[in-house]
A and B are shown apart, each in its own frame.
Chain A
């Protein structure tokens, strides 16, 4: 355009890659645009500022640019017609009636005229019309012809035909031909129709079974297909067997299993080192073999809190009576199902065997224990039943009912129902019940089953705890219940860990409370010890950090440091925990100071009271004071007659009734256990750099204070085993050297690359801050723009007002001038007239 109308915004620097939008401005154009816009909007508003009436243009599509004018017209017309529809116009005569001619609609006739039927008889109609014209208009040709044909037919045959005749003949011929053609076509049509009908009939026949006679014919025709053919056919139609993986051989299976175990072991080692603890979290979670892979996320453990109850025996009695009634009913119901029951039972037992597969030898070992446990249980029941009056009546029925169990079990909703379900059953039956509960309520069967089975784990755990707190702890039963517990744990690791944690927390909380109240704690019951043992069975204890095992570690450490040792049971419990510690760290070889302290203390209390030298015992043992010599045995005979025995676990609850000799033997067994544990610890910790410092007090005690010669030979064996393990470790110290620090890299002059969000803005700030700044900036810019626009609006309005005033003023001036002019002429005329008069 005109270069004088262009304003160029000069750039200070040319920057590569920057695109500029505003390097050329057209001030004239933009100004005129703005003025135009304002005249359309602002000026209009200004002019209509005092008007309340509004002109509304309701014409259809008047301002709609998307509709073409023709369409617009059509639509408007349609609208008009719609409006008029239904309105009766009194002046409108016969508008709706159709005009006819000979009973035919005129409009139709008009239409038909245009249509040309190629197929149908145009000529015919042509002739017809010709005849008609003849008839109507009295064409002489036709009449003439008739007369001629009537009079002289014979002559005509001989005579050469006139042109007219020839034409007539031709017409007739063609007519005939045409008729023939039509008839042919009609007949063909008829025939096809008939054929169709026939075919339909036949088709229905074919679809059904052919009539008997026909079939016979066919049979005669076809020889009976022999078996070979049939088999060939069958094989042809049979689903093709898809190639599958071949059966694995024993070796391969073993190899695979080994690989799996190796992988798990590697996993365990990685966790044990705890190096990639953080990275570990991001990895996909461990998937157990029993995982359903259904993507179900565990909810929180929502089981009810149940409290332990006192007076269990009483409760059990009541419940057993209840149980008996129930069983009676069951027995009545299920008499007829006897056979099936037994089958089912054997089947499930088989399955159980499968589950335990390779441990069958162990199973047999346990069998005997189990039996004893059973016997005991039954005895217990019988004693209970003796108390209740109707022993003889109930017993036989009960025995009968015992051998039958219902097929299906619902998962018990509360611990009470769970207990009543298991109460009064033998161990095998309890196991079967548990298994059936698991089978009937497998998570894949229904939605809620998972939560239910998770609860079951808690119940089972609680049940085990209860069995352990009985006066005669049913350890055999517990032993058998471990397997279902393990299986449940494999299915629901999260819920299981929550349950175990919950129990541990309860126990720790109880201990803390006791410490706060009494200032010292006592060892917990057998149930807690069993729980700790179960923890080591269910979870890997070698992990660097484990949600269940780490708290268990801390709890056990507290037990060993905070609990007072006042009785022999305390010593046994302490040694049990020591065993637990050794087992927990047997793979990871982690250092447990409490363990060494406790073993030292145990050795200390086996010595006669005297001034300690060369070593210091630590809490909870004291160098002087009471509760010493707990493990001291002076009786020569007892020393002689001692045999190393495995301490029965139940001893921790019932020690009182044993004789003095037995107690002495137990003491010696404890001491032997202590020696053994020391030996194991020495083996575990030999790699620690300060192994000798750790073991120093124990070694001093063993070498200088132990009355070795008084001990029986067996004990001396244990003693020397421990001492040897301690002594024959090389002393090896290498000075510590720090790991080298990574050198801090020097500052480089390579350009720092920063993401550019907007040019000309400060970049050095966080993203959020940048966004905020940008927003502020944009707001400022918009505000400025708005102010500018308002100012321009005002200027425009003022200009308009001014021009209005000027216009008005000029009009007034003009009018005044006119008036003055007219007045002047009037005056002039008047004066002229006056002068004339004067002259006249």
Chain B
């Protein structure tokens, strides 16, 4: 009923400027439920207020996790409210009473989506997934399946399935993270390689990684003191003069 811009503005401040001062915060229930149902960034923002209602005011929300699961789409790694969303998701998934299939479905979906994520999000999501494995050891079959079938022609996980219990996530393996081990960013590749070994007991602290931006990554990399700079040994012959230069095929100097 509100224009999206206003919706966003309201939802951004709702949880800490409005809800604590209301006599009956439960009145916001309908508003938040509707907002949560809209989808996209607005749903992400409504999550925060909804969490307060569930947590402090005994709100029952049927199929909450299913809804949360359906919120996961490629844009979550790119939007501005990424930090807030993952902070809340981390909270929601911190319960150790969640069924393994649900957590596995979340893990699988998050990592599938991570195939389109920028490095700053990847640096956050990989420890996030590691933490999920630590909390729910039953999900570890995703990274360690000793007696499984030797060869599969398909990933059993069904990405399009709305219902986490139907997604057959527990039958799958985390090939996505394995793919990310050859990511171009060295830190991402290293973080992904952690899942090759058995995990340590301690959870990683991801609070510092939530707000990571690409520019910070760049800055960190640039400011590193280089002791030794390897050089290209192939002699150049011009701007597009490399061997099999792709540019020579598509661009011309003119």
Contact = CB atoms under 8 A, between A and B. Distances in A.
Interface of A: 261, 264, 267-268, 271, 274, 281, 285-286, 288, 356, 359, 362-363, 366, 369, 475-476, 478-480, 482-483, 486, 489-490, 493-494, 496-497, 501, 504-505, 508, 511-512, 530, 533-534, 536-540, 543-548, 550-551, 553-555, 557-558, 561-562, 575-576, 579, 582-586, 588-594, 596-597, 616, 618-619, 646-650, 669, 673, 676-677, 680, 688-694, 731-739, 741
Contact of B78 (A540, A618, A646, A734): A618
B91 interface: no
A689 B230 contact: no
A483 B152 contact: no
Given A493-B229, A561-B214, A591 B182 contact: yes
Interface in B199-239: 214-215, 217-219, 221-222, 224, 226-233, 235-239
Nearest to B225: A547
Interface stretch (B43-51, B55-63, B115-123, B161-169): B115-123
Contact of A734 (B152, B184, B241): B152
A734 B150 CA distance: 6
Contacts of B116: 593, 596-597, 618
A247 to B, nearest CB: 24
A648 B252 contact: yes
Given A538-B232, A550-B186, 13 more contacts: A264-B233, A274-B186, A493-B231, A501-B222, A539-B231, A547-B226, A554-B119, A561-B214, A579-B246, A647-B251, A648-B251, A736-B174, A738-B143
A688 B182 contact: yes
6 contacts: A475-B254, A544-B186, A583-B245, A647-B251, A648-B251, A739-B197
Given A497-B226, A618-B74, A680 B237 contact: no
Contact of B250 (A359, A548, A618, A676): A676
A737 B144 contact: yes
B107 to A, nearest CB: 13
B75 A619 contact: yes
Nearest to A361: B237
A363 B238 CA distance: 9
Nearest to B244: A586
B238 A482 contact: yes
Q: How large is the interface on B (under 10, 10 to 19, 20 to 34, 35 or more residues)?
A: 35 or more
A674 B252 CA distance: 16
B173 interface: yes
B182 A589 contact: yes
B189 to A, nearest CB: 8
Contacts of A544: 186, 189
Contacts, number: 265
Contacts of A738: 143-144, 195-198
A468 to B, nearest CB: 10
Contacts of A475: 239, 253-254
B96 interface: no
Contacts of B253: 369, 475-476, 478-479, 648-649
Contacts of A649: 251-254
Nearest to B235: A486
A798 B205 CA distance: 74
B7 interface: no
Contacts of B222: 501, 504-505, 508, 551
Which of B117, B184, B214 has the most CB atoms of chain A within a 10 A radius of its CB? B184
B112 A359 contact: no
B53 to A, nearest CB: 30
B142 interface: yes
Nearest to B196: A739
A741 to B, nearest CB: 5
A534 B236 CA distance: 10
Interface string B22-66: 000000000000000000000000000000000000000000000
A759 B95 CA distance: 56
A550 B230 CA distance: 13
B115 A551 contact: no
A593 B122 CA distance: 10
B180 interface: yes
A163 to B, nearest CB: 114
B148 A735 contact: yes
B8 interface: no
Nearest to B151: A734
B175 A733 contact: yes
Interface in B128-171: 142-146, 148-155, 159
A688 B48 CA distance: 37
Interface in B12-29: none
A675 to B, nearest CB: 11
Interface string B174-190: 11101110111110010
Contacts of A288: 231
A486 B175 contact: no
B171 to A, nearest CB: 9
A635 B245 CA distance: 32
A261 B233 contact: yes
Nearest to A555: B218
Closest 4 CB pairs of A and B: A547-B226, A648-B254, A735-B148, A619-B78
Contacts of B242: 536-537, 583
B236 A281 contact: no
B146 to A, nearest CB: 6
A274 to B, nearest CB: 6
A733 B73 contact: no
B185 A486 contact: no
A430 B225 CA distance: 34
Contact of B237 (A362, A512, A689, A692): A362
A618 B74 CA distance: 6
B247 interface: yes
A550 B217 CA distance: 10
B229 A494 contact: yes
Which of B77, B218, B221, B229 has the most CB atoms of chain A within a 10 A radius of its CB? B229
A815 to B, nearest CB: 94
Contact of A553 (B75, B150, B185): B185
Nearest to A652: B251
A809 to B, nearest CB: 86
Which of B74, B78, B224, B232 has the most CB atoms of chain A within a 10 A radius of its CB? B232
A569 to B, nearest CB: 13
A276 to B, nearest CB: 13
B153 A554 contact: no
A536 B78 CA distance: 28
A673 B78 contact: no
Contacts of B73: 616
Contact of B247 (A579, A594, A619): A579
